């Protein structure tokens, strides 16, 4: 049980949270980052798919020439700018709020990406995909509430930073070895998992760098942390771009939403001690809320109509059973129409891309 003697104690805890300016600033910044991430994913996916069609991209990963082609795609460049803004928003959020509070909010980008992609691709959300979104949002809200009550800022010691860097080094060696061995037959799932693991460390390293700079502890070990952060960002970005070549943006965002927060949260709990002293009930709440969000993401990855009709990368059962998945028997068309009113047509097109008829 939570060590709260009465409803009044719980009320005092909640009031204390909302008096914390860090929490009040960190959560909106994290949400803003999720919005930028959603739009950035759509535009980058558009550019990568165009290059894939031009160069017949194989499963061995993006080459240097293909990366240069991406730089000439306005949609990809705009998506990159938006992802840069997403990273800046998340870094700002991490400077005001604990890692295990900020990181799960990024899962909101999955909801936004799903709605945007429904508008672009014409695949309307099905009942199963809407249920999955509800599970994601519900799990996130519960998780954030618990984290806001019990998470706290902690100063990062040299042993903690060395531990994180050593774990990252092991992960890089393992992932790099797998990439060298499997790159000619690796599918989208491999690149999504690899990117999610690396980005989980990137978020952790960003939090450590911010904490040490705020405490005035900037020396060679912090510089090494910054270098590892930049390398991790570049490696993760490469894996994400390759994943876009073989899967819809919803699938990529769904995978990142699951793996990235799990890695960052485990590090925050086990290494950084951001919930040290929390009651066992808080950890049980983390587990239940996380399970809800994760189950929602996997359901969305399984039942999203575009995944059902186009993706052949993941060996899982597809579709909600019966009927034509591209013409669901639900009222979800209203969601797509609502998105269309907000974003009637993507404002950026590549130069050689056909414009929709007016």
pLDDT of residue 165: 94
Which DSSP letter does residue 344 get?
Answer: S
Q: What is the pLDDT of residues 319-336, one digit of tens each?
A: 444 444 444 444 444 444
CA distance 318 to 305: 9
Residue 353 is assigned to a structural domain of this protein: no
Per the structure, the complete domain to which residue 75 belongs is given by: 15-342
Residue 1 is assigned to a structural domain of this protein: no
Query: Which of 61-97 are b and which e, b meaning 16 or more Cβ less than 10 Å from the residue's Cβ?
Result: bbeeebeebbeebebbbbbbebbebbbebbbbbbbbb
**Which residue positions in the chain have pLDDT lower than 50?**
1, 4-7, 14, 58, 311-345, 356-358
| Whole-prediction pTM | 0.71
Residue 9 is assigned to a structural domain of this protein: no
pLDDT of residue 328: 43
Tokens of 48: 């990568």
User: HSE (CB half, 13 Å, CA atoms) of 136?
Assistant: 28
How many domains, the chain? 1
Residue 3 is assigned to a structural domain of this protein: no
Residue 348 is assigned to a structural domain of this protein: no
Residue 304 is assigned to a structural domain of this protein: yes
pLDDT of residue 224: 94
Residue 8 is assigned to a structural domain of this protein: no
């Amino acid at each position: 049980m939570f060590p709260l003697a009465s409803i009044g104690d719980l009320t005092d805890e909640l009031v204390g949270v909302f008096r914390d300016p860090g929490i009040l600033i960190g959560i909106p910044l994290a949400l803003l980052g999720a919005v930028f991430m959603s739009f950035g994913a759509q535009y980058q996916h558009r550019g990568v798919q165009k290059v894939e069609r031009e160069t017949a991209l194989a499963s061995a990963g993006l080459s240097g020439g293909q990366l240069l082609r991406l730089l000439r795609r306005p949609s990809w460049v705009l998506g990159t700018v938006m992802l840069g803004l997403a990273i800046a928003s998340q870094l700002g959020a991490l400077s005001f709020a604990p890692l295990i509070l900020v990181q799960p909010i990024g899962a909101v980008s999955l909801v936004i990406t799903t709605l945007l992609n429904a508008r672009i691709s014409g695949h309307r959300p099905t009942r199963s995909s809407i249920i999955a979104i509800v599970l994601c949002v519900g799990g996130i809200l519960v998780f954030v509430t618990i984290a806001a009550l019990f998470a706290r800022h902690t100063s990062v010691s040299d042993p903690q930073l060395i531990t994180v860097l050593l774990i990252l080094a092991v992960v890089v060696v393992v992932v790099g070895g797998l990439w060298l061995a499997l790159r000619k037959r690796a599918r989208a799932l491999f690149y999504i998992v690899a990117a999610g693991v690396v980005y989980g460390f990137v978020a952790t390293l960003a939090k450590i760098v911010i904490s040490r700079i705020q405490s005035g502890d900037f020396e060679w070990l912090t510089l090494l942390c910054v270098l590892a952060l930049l390398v991790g960002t570049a490696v993760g970005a490469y894996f994400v771009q390759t994943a876009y070549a073989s899967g819809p943006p919803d699938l990529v965002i769904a995978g990142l939403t699951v793996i990235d927060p799990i890695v960052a949260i485990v590090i925050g709990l086990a290494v950084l001690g951001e919930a040290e002293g929390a009651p066992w009930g808080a950890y049980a709440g983390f587990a239940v809320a996380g399970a809800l969000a994760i189950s929602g993401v996997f359901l969305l990855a399984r039942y999203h109509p575009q995944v059902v009709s186009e993706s052949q990368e993941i060996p899982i059962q597809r579709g909600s059973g019966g009927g034509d998945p591209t013409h669901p028997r639900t009222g979800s068309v209203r969601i797509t129409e609502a998105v269309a009113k907000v974003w009637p047509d993507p404002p950026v097109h590549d130069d050689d891309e056909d414009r929709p008829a007016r």
